[in-house]
Structure 1
């Protein structure tokens, strides 16, 4: 008898523009969990590009998100995620039974310089490490 492969949890990060907080959270989770967690991010009103100060702040910790593009939040993205983490998007995220919803209150990096983004980045990393512990998935770095 073979043992079934462990289930890979999926996490969706949602903020309004998908240009800052949700992009950093998705990048940290991908970086720290590798392929042991499915990672998605989206926005209720996506911006045209990722915030350049966010790209710079993430580059400072060795994570390149310069190729990322903000994506629109879809019902399918929520439906196919085990954990949905909102970051200031209000009530725009659809709610489905059986999903775990978390709301992370974080400052918005929109219009901020890299000096203001760094503490937001560091708080997101701290929360991602906590999330990994809750999921039973040790961080790789």
Structure 2
């Protein structure tokens, strides 16, 4: 069986997509290949995102925003967009999901924490679909 590949995309790849990628990578423990990218990458990951992820023991301090490429979309089995609008290329045969989530840009840790928690809930549900638990 092939390892499923998931690509998380948002505009700046500094908040939502970084949290989603880190959470899925953490929960999947190697059972899913995970990438994230942005249509207009920022210079750094949002410091509030780094802080709320550290609360869960997940270190994203060394991550950096990456530019969305056609190759990344082509390689993915599932592409999850988070407010990138029409900037994400569409390829036939790919599964696309659009997660409507608040943008953590410019928000405090207290405001980013519930965004992280909602992403975590969605990531866990996605993982259960992609890699059903074996008994």
- TM-score where L is the length of structure 2: 0.97
For residues 107-139 of structure 1, give each alpha carbon's deviation from its aligned partner in whole angstroms, at most 9, with x where no partner exists. Answer: 00000010000000000000000001111344x
Q: 1:27 aligns with which of 19, 22, 26?
A: 22
Q: Is the CA contact 2:31–2:131 (under 8 Å) kept in the aligned structure 1?
A: no
For residues 3-58 of structure 1, give each alpha carbon's deviation from its aligned partner in whole angstroms, at most 9, with x where no partner exists. Answer: xxx21000000000000000000000000001110000000000000000000000
Q: Is the CA contact 1:36–1:137 (under 8 Å) kept in the aligned structure 2?
A: no
What are structure 2's unaligned runs of at least 5 residues? none
For residues 57-91 of structure 1, give each alpha carbon's deviation from its aligned partner in whole angstroms, at most 9, with x where no partner exists. Answer: 00001100000000000000000000000000001
How far, CA to CA, are the matches of 1:66 and 1:136 in structure 2?
28
Residues 2-17 of structure 1 mapped to structure 2, 5 A cutoff? 6-17=1-12
How far, CA to CA, are the matches of 1:132 and 1:33 in structure 2?
7
Partner of 1:135: 130
Partner of 2:105: 110
Aligned-residue CA RMSD in angstroms? 0.7
What are structure 1's unaligned runs of at least 5 residues? 1-5
Partner of 2:62: 67
Q: Which runs of 4+ in 1 moved over 6 A?
A: none
How far, CA to CA, are the matches of 1:32 and 1:129 in structure 2?
7
The alignment partner of 2:127 has SS state of helix
